[in-house]
Structure 1
């Protein structure tokens, strides 16, 4: 049985036996055409690797969860899935669902419940038997996906640029964002002797003055000091890098924001707090579609694995449902599990990606 979880930045494929054992696994690039992915190519690459030496005649079905496969993008997603399936020599065609449905299946074998997700995309949905009953957001980087890794990255760049030109508050992001986007070597090229190390020296002086110690000697809080204006070419280099890559590439800044927030940076904290708030708002919007019945809540995506956004969302869900949410495992295994369930076979439990 084949399962695929095709997101905006990565595609994973697994092949499970009818007993739920892992028989093969493969990966490919992002498959969401709305964020720059080649859907058919990514599916084919991951599927070919996962099948390996497996006889295609032994594969009896599969489920492909594809980002952007909602009603607007479904025809293109189905066509790409069938093309990849047939190119691999498989019989029939796979079922195609959105990656949102697969995200829910990655955390529970229940047919109905809520999934809140934040990776390349973000939002929440009520799922019933692989179908979206009601959703909030998940509309793509241009008009939605608030609270996603891409959204976090965009907000981090905006905050860094605002601090550079005097519109925003001093923030650690003015150092960590360019380093993440351009690399330490590239950043050093823009540093004159006057600017080089100024930000770090300001933090060191703040620490010497006792500004880095929390109340009662608790967790240290970094308070960036205003530094000399940076070389204006640095801001332009950042802008060029951002616009020169697919929007999904901004997602790599998600951990940068989380690290700055954990270090006590006020600007980064505001960004992560807003991300958690909008994700919980998404859950509140879809919750009535459950009809008052108990159902599991699954957290899915890189932003919701750990860190300040995950912690805040987990606490908010616990308050709302008086129970701990479930953490999703490997989405590709969730997709294969959906395929097994539809044929009446036992569904394996959640499994971490790569395990």
Structure 2
């Protein structure tokens, strides 16, 4: 049976076709802002773009599609996405889930536990059953205006705030001011370049790379931003582990598998390793395990799940 998986987030969308023999073909397209005017249309356009980038021999109908998408979409939007993808890929069945679900499936290979997803935004998912069974609880994932603490957008935003505070004389001197000017141009024009461009979330989140560079250069302001981000991720992890234990009505000696997903966790020195050390030290019931796969692997598992 030919199936397909789609992993769509704010920084990119990936599509993978898996053949009956296990062979795979993967293509990518751009990301999307989940509070865009018409997210369903944007997602469908990106899926179409990725599908067109597959080798011609792979653009044949599939039996089922699993999709993990960032953001909470309205029922009518989900129906439009399902119908559009079904038509494009010739699929009788399309399954759409939040990207935390597919990240969880991929990282823990469908097993119970907690997965913390840290990319542009942040969300943690606790699931007590295998596959898509069992009770679930989400922590954070409230979007860049209300939550996503410790994510790439939050780090970039704090970096830009620190740069502007230094520029004004309201805050300590920091190399972030020069980094922001190099990245965006003169700081007195920064609001005009960011507000109302349609790419504000991605642009701000992308500045997290400069915040990392400046922190590695020894800047204490930038280093503090990353420390605070890790603290937020640890707090999110702690809450998700607590929710898991409540849902599972676990024995006092139960340990909870905890893994991770998302591009920000790829920043090993400033994020993943400090987060891992603190989770293992500060959350005794948590057992941190390396991810078995990623969100695209999870989307394929969603399509495979009977």
More off after superposition, 24-33 vs 272-281: 24-33
C-alpha displacement at 1:176, in angstroms? 1.3
Q: Is the 8 A contact 1:86 1:93 kept in 2?
A: no
1:149-160 correspondence to structure 2 within 5 Å:
149-160=152-163
SS in 1 for 2:57: coil
- Find runs of 4+ consecutive structure 1 residues off by over 6 angstroms: none
Q: How many residues align?
A: 286
C-alpha distance in 1 between matches for 2:204 and 2:260: 21
TM-score normalised by length of structure 2: 0.85
SS in 1 for 2:165: helix
Distance 1:110 1:84, change over 3 A: closer
SS in 1 for 2:211: helix
C-alpha displacement at 1:15, in angstroms? 0.9
TM-score normalised by length of structure 1: 0.74
Calculate the aligned-residue CA RMSD, in Å. 2.3
Q: Map Cα deviations across residues 133-171 of structure 1 (whole Å, 9 max, x no partner).
A: 111111111111111111111111111000000001111
Find the counterpart in structure 2 of residue 235 from structure 1. 187
Q: Is the 8 A contact 1:150 1:247 kept in 2?
A: yes
Distance 1:325 1:256, change over 3 A: farther
C-alpha displacement at 1:315, in angstroms? 1.1
Determine which of 259, 262, 265 is the counterpart of 1:304: 265
C-alpha displacement at 1:328, in angstroms? 6.2
Q: Is the 8 A contact 2:63 2:93 kept in 1?
A: no
Determine which of 149, 152, 155 is the counterpart of 1:146: 149
1:128-207 correspondence to structure 2 within 5 Å:
128=129, 129-130=131-132, 133-182=136-185
Distance 1:332 1:110, change over 3 A: closer
| 1:48 lines up with 2:60 in the alignment | no
**Where in structure 2 are there 5+ consecutive unaligned residues?**
none
**Where in structure 1 are there 5+ consecutive unaligned residues?**
183-233, 344-355
Distance 1:30 1:278, change over 3 A: same
Distance 1:4 1:11, change over 3 A: same
C-alpha distance in 2 between matches for 1:55 and 1:327: 30
Larger radius of gyration: 1
